[in-house]
Chains A and B, each alone.
Chain A
Amino acid sequence: MSAIGTTRQIPDRLDNPLRSLVFSWEALLVAVAVAIFIVNSLASPYFLDVWSLSDLTFNFTEKGLIALAMALLIISGEIDLSVAAIIALASTLMGMAAVAGVGTPGLVLIGVGVGIACGAFNGFLVTGLGLPSIVVTIGTMSLFRGIAFIILGDQAYNSYPASFAFFGQGYVWWVISFELVLFLVAAVIYGFVLHKTSFGRRVFSIGNNPIASHFTGVRVARTKFILFCLTGLMAGIASVLITSRLGSTRPSIAQGYELEVITMVVLGGVSILGGAGSILGVVLAALIMGMVTFGLGLLNVPGIVMSIFIGLLLILVIALPILWKRLSRRRIA
């Protein structure tokens, strides 16, 4: 997809580390986040309040959890559009089990298990049969949510045990919700795995050049399969949280989440073409999207108008650095 005739150039000396830190994507995201925080505080008197800020985190924790795994998957050069459908299917099966009298630990196991199974199914189709992930996951997206529709039709499940409500509604300490803690812990784990382990290096290497990686002895297919399973796992966890928070399941649950998750990942600086990105960026992007939607919500802006801001944010954040680079290159030349 890259422009014709451009080759990757290796600079003869590295950039000044301070300079590259200041001009890094993450620094830009921090600046954007701070700006949005200030604008929000000025725009609404209700924003600067611990409980408001605590509520804010619910806007991004569930999608953010999926975005962490999705980031790894996109860095490896694949994509999963079926995550929202996995949430729906997992939630439906949890609802079924709850009706049958399964307790809270069993429900969590079912939610997470369904997530992993769906992810493994995607992973098998992509790596086992060598199919393009974008088409496969468009197909499984219809299939998974379709099964939820077959089971539920226009009905809803809402008989969950009382103790099940903790995951989506509980607080660990004061205003710190269980969801937020889970998200932060997961972010640290994913950050460590991606940036500090050989597995993470393999993910980058596959995204940059799968053929060269294969010849260096990286098991490309197996690594990608694991990444699909991880994405399914995170979707399963998100399903537990959402189901617990809403206390009910409809087959249309989490509709359109896949696009928001991918927006989060791309906004976080992960290259949609694979091979580049960081977990810190994704976490910051999750925070930014949460703040934008929450701030606009405080101003009574309808959700659909918010989506314009998210869409514009996505395109602008991608376009500006490209234009900036082009301008600065022209100045040098």
Chain B
Amino acid sequence: MNALLKNREIWLVGAIAVLIAVIATRFPGFAAPRNLSTVFNDTSILMILALGQMVVILTRSIDLSMASNLAFTGMVVAMINAAYPGFPIPLLILVAIGVGLILGAINGFLVWRIGIPPIVVTLGTLTIYRGATFVISGGAWVNADKMSPDFIGLQRMQLLGLPVLSWFAIATIVLFFVMMTRTALGRSLYAIGVNPTASVYAGIDVGRTKFFAFCISGAIAGLAGYLWISRYVIASVEVANGYELNIIAACVIGGISIAGGIGSVGGAVLGALFLGIISSALPVVNISPFWQMAISGTAILLAVVLNARGERKQGRIILKKAEAAAA
């Protein structure tokens, strides 16, 4: 029971349940399963992105370029679709993942091989990738009428009662859960975040693992690029501008420590859902959407205060101090 109370995910589930209950008192229909599945679907892209960001944050890094990567990849697939409407969609999704992966690998390479701090690298590529989106499109938009019905329709198809977009999110969650808990890569991502020095002695290549983390976040951003464009049926330079902060916010609310090594797939998903519920609830309870930004800001601050308290209770902190003193 005590262990259950200490579990961050349980607290988040509780917070989300309270949130839904409060909204339901003013608008009972909000808690209906039908509506909740819509909210889940609306939050799918953020959940997918938060998982990619989580992997990077676990390694004591940060990827600020995800939203720009998303915009670039989205533009690439939209332009391919506009030029060759017959291009099979599953292949196009692979292209999106591939393009995103390459952009992520560039970040990872600069961090791993050149040794530039991740925040500097991704601050640079944040502007470069979005600028590149402008260059390849010439500033033009790709509108809905230029996209093929398959391109737009795939994620709206119903499969076992849920839209395909939701299934994309579920598949990503399962994949990440298996990766983080059942593979050597997943364990090393945690290890180098908790203690890079010990990880080296354990035979983990810290630089290469970080490189992989950036490749993963890049590939995820690429996938989200296709999903975003086909959902909002417009590809422009401005797509997802500033969204990198929402992604990081989802991670922070989900209890992923910016200092690395602490966080879980469940946390990232719940953090994203928390933000998603707020944004879909505001119009329902008749609060101006202009409140959204301040509310998510407050949520981030509360989450980080609570997280810090949780982290302080663990015995691990002694090790960290010794490490800092030795450095």
Q: Mark A290-325, 1 if CB is under 8 A from B, else 0.
A: 000000000000101111101110110011001100
Contact B259 A132 (CB under 8 A): yes
Which of chain A's residues has its CB closest to B132's CB? A308
Interface size on A, as a range, is: 35 or more
Contact B125 A143 (CB under 8 A): no
Contact A139 B294 (CB under 8 A): no
Q: Mark A206-228, 1 if CB is under 8 A from B, else 0.
A: 00000100000000000000000
Q: Mark B12-47, 1 if CB is under 8 A from A, else 0.
A: 000000000000000000000000000000000000
- Count of B residues near A, CB < 8 Å? 52
**What's the Cα separation between A265 and B248 when bound, in Å?**
23
Q: Is B126 in contact with chain A by the CB < 8 A criterion?
A: yes
Chain B residues within 8 Å of A319, by CB: 110, 114, 116
Selected contact of A305 from candidates B134, B294, B304, CB within 8 Å: B134
With A150-B290, A150-B291: A323-B114 Cβ-Cβ less than 8 Å: yes
Q: Is A185 in contact with chain B by the CB < 8 A criterion?
A: no
Selected contact of A131 from candidates B128, B197, B304, B325, CB within 8 Å: B304
List A249-274 residues whose CB lies under 8 Å from chain B. 251, 255-256, 259, 262-263, 266, 272-273
Q: Is A138 in contact with chain B by the CB < 8 A criterion?
A: yes
Q: Mark A49-71, 1 if CB is under 8 A from B, else 0.
A: 00000000000000000000000
Chain A residues within 8 Å of B172, by CB: none
Contact B301 A143 (CB under 8 A): yes
Choose among A134, A136, A147, A304 the residue with the greatest number of B CB atoms under 10 Å from its CB. A304
Q: Is A17 in contact with chain B by the CB < 8 A criterion?
A: no
Contact B325 A140 (CB under 8 A): no
Q: Is B223 in contact with chain A by the CB < 8 A criterion?
A: no
With A149-B293, A266-B120, A302-B139: A130-B245 Cβ-Cβ less than 8 Å: no
Chain A residues within 8 Å of B293, by CB: 142-143, 145-146, 149
| Interface residues in chain A, defined as those with a beta carbon under 8 Å from any beta carbon in chain B | 1-5, 125, 129-132, 134-136, 138-147, 149-150, 152-154, 211, 251, 255-256, 259, 262-263, 266, 272-273, 302, 304-308, 310-312, 314-315, 318-319, 322-323
**Ordered nearest first, which 9 A-B pairs have the shortest CB separation?**
A146-B294, A142-B297, A143-B297, A146-B293, A308-B131, A139-B300, A311-B127, A311-B128, A307-B127
Extra inter-chain contacts (5) besides given A311-B128, A312-B128, CB under 8 Å: A131-B308, A304-B130, A307-B128, A311-B124, A319-B114
| Interface residues in chain B, defined as those with a beta carbon under 8 Å from any beta carbon in chain A | 60, 62, 110, 114-117, 119-121, 123-128, 130-132, 134-135, 139, 196-197, 200, 206, 237, 242, 245, 248-249, 252, 258-259, 288, 290-298, 300-301, 304-305, 308, 324-325, 327
